[in-house]
Structure formats: C-alpha cells, structure tokens
A and B are shown apart, each in its own frame.
Chain A
Amino acid sequence: MNKLKTELSDEQINALEEHLAGTLKPVTPPMEVVTRLRERIHFPEPRMIVSRLRDWQRMFLVFGGVMSGMLVLITVARALFYLVRRHA
C-alpha cells in the first residue's frame, strides 16, 4: 500500500506529463508589452541595432582601407624621393 503511494506507474507519469504539457505552454508576450519593455529599457529595435552594427563594421573596413592606401602611398613616395635624391 505504502509502495503504491510513493511510486508512479509509467501510465501515470505519461498522463501527468501530458496534462502538464497541455497546461504549461509557452506564451507569446503581447506586442504592446514587448514595445513598452523595449522603451522602458531604452533598447532600439533589433533591425536598428543590426544596421548600426553593420555600419560600424563598414566604417571599420573603410578606415582599414584608407590606412592601407595611405601606407602604400607613403612607401611609393619614399621610394621616389630616394631615387630622385640618388640621381641628383
């Protein structure tokens, strides 16, 4: 008798789990709640964040490109300067 009280049969486990799964279902927060929360924590919308991050990556690439270009120009200028001085 005691054993029956402290043990669950497979059928009981399955039935309980089925009831629990039917009751505890993921819910979708209402859109107005999501919007209010975002405003409250001052987060921009995800698409804005992504575009900003992409802009930041683009800026980094542009900056890297400009610096590399300048390095090439300086090297060429130095080489020319060296050659001109040598001939003069």
Chain B
Amino acid sequence: MPDTDFNEEDILTRASQGDRDAFGLLYERYLDRIFNYVYYRTGNLHDAEDLTARVFQRAMNHIQNYTDRGVPFSAWLYRIAHNLVANWHRDRSRRQEIPINDVPVLPSKGDHPERNLVRSQEQSTLLRLIRRLPPERQNLLILKFVENMSNAEIGAIMGRSEGAVKSLYHRTLLALRDQIGDQNINLDND
C-alpha cells in the first residue's frame, strides 16, 4: 500500500500544488473512512457512493485552501462530508419525508455471520433510534464507534472542545437509554 511509502505532509504539499497523483494517494488513504461516515449518515449505498465522490471532488478542487492550522487533513475532509450530508438531508426533507430505513447490511470488518444474524433485529432497532437523533449526535456516535476516534479528534472535526464532546456524548447516551427503554432492547449484558 502506498501509505507506507509516503509522508502525508509531502503528499499534501504536492496535492495542493495540483499534483493529481498525490491527491490520488490521499483518496486511497481516506476513501474507506469517508465512505463509512457518509454511509451511516445517509443509510443507503447509492447516495453514500455519490456523496463520497462529491466529497473528494470538492476536496480536490479546494485543496489549495487547506492549510494545516492544527486541524488535521482528515478533519477538513470530514467537515466537507458533514456539509454535503447536511445539504443532502435538507434537499431530501424538502422533497419528501425521510423514511427511516435500516442501514443496509454491508460486510463489516472482522464480523462473524452467526453473531450478525442473532443481533440483526436489535441492531436494526438501535440504528433506527440513532438515525432519529439530531445530526451532531449521530456524527459523534459514528466518529466514535465506526471511525474509532478519541474525543479530541472528534472535537477537531466538530469544532468543539474535548470537554464539550464528552458532555454531548453523555447526553446522547442518556437520550438513547431513555429511547431504548421503549423498545425491546436488553441493556443487561448478553
């Protein structure tokens, strides 16, 4: 994988000078992460593909505007993704009410199929509950669990302090606990 061969700072410098190959390396490095984020925020594969492409096209067109002021490149990309997803939700809500579908099942990394089947009903319910949360809370959960980010990294993306992210996370868990109480999800350990 080219990741091991190149330093991100060098790649960014070259990409911002219009080197498409250098941007191609950034694309390979961040494609999965951005796709995951968009996929969970939109809940469908087709729009996730379209929006992921638009995130990278927009990033490529504006990369000369990216300057490292303590905000990592990944945070800049996620902000683009966040804005595009927000526009997508706005456009959809104008046209029609968003159906709260289950996120379609894609193969998870390192998952066991039997465990998947047993949990699918519970997971579908929980996904529905997550998708009813306000967008910033959905973002937080996706970045924390799908992208495995720390509160500080999430703060850099969401433009909040680490403490604010921690507090938002706590409020999100509280809200989920209350909603789960109305569903058939067992919060006792399996």
Which residues of A line the B interface, CB within 8 A?
Answer: 5-6, 8, 11-30, 33-34, 36-38, 40-44, 46, 49-50, 52-53
In the assembled complex, B39 has its CB within 8 A of some CB on chain A: yes
Is B98 in contact with chain A by the CB < 8 A criterion? no
Determine if B107 and A52 form an interchain contact, defined as CB atoms under 8 angstroms apart: no
Question: Within the complex, which residue of A6, A11, A20, A49 is in contact with B141, where a contact is CB–CB below 8 Å?
Answer: A20
* Contact of B130 with A by CB under 8 A: yes
Question: Which has the most chain A C-beta neighbours within 10 Å: B146, B180, B188?
Answer: B146
Tell me whether B109 and A26 are in contact (CB under 8 A).
Answer: yes
B5 touches A50 (CB 8 A): yes
Contacts A8-B170, A29-B35 given: A40-B123 contact, CB under 8 Å? no
Q: How many inter-chain contacts with C-beta < 8 Å in the A-B complex? A: 122
Some 8 contacts from A to B, beta carbons below 8 A apart, are: A18-B189, A20-B126, A20-B141, A20-B144, A23-B122, A23-B145, A34-B31, A43-B28
> Does B24 lie within 8 Å of A46, measured CB to CB?
yes
Tell me whether A27 and B107 are in contact (CB under 8 A).
yes
Query: Which of B1, B48, B106, B146 is A28 in contact with, Cβ under 8 Å?
Result: B106
Asked if B24 contacts A21 (CB within 8 A), the reply is no
B128-155 interface (Cβ within 8 A of A): 130, 141-142, 144-148
User: Which size bracket describes the interface of B in this complex?
Assistant: 35 or more
Question: B9: shortest Cβ distance to chain A, in Å?
Answer: 15
Instruction: Give complex CA distance A87, B144 in Å.
Output: 82
Residues of B within 8 A of A33 (CB): 35, 45, 49
CB pair B126 A27 closer than 8 Å:
no
Measured CA separation A49–B145 after assembly (Å):
32
Residue positions of B touching A, CB distance < 8 A: 1-2, 5-6, 20-21, 23-25, 27-28, 31-32, 35-36, 39-40, 45, 48-49, 52-53, 56-57, 60, 106-109, 111, 119, 122-123, 126-127, 130, 141-142, 144-148, 170, 173-174, 176-178, 180, 185, 187-190
Cβ contact within 8 Å between A28 and B24: no
Is the pair B24, A8 in contact by a Cβ cutoff of 8 Å? no
Residues of B within 8 A of A16 (CB): 173, 176-177, 180, 187
**B25 with A46: CB separation less than 8 A:** yes
Check if A22 sits within 8 Å of B173, measured CB to CB.
no
A18 to B82 alpha-carbon distance, docked (Å): 26
Contacts of B40 in A (CB 8 A): 24
Report chain A residues within 8 Å CB of B27.
38, 41, 43
Nearest-Cβ distance from residue B143 to partner chain A, whole angstroms: 10
CA A75 – CA B178 in complex, angstroms?
84
Question: What is the chain B residue whose CB lies nearest that of A16?
Answer: B173
- Considering the chains assembled together, what is the distance between the CA atoms of A26 and B147 in angstroms? 7
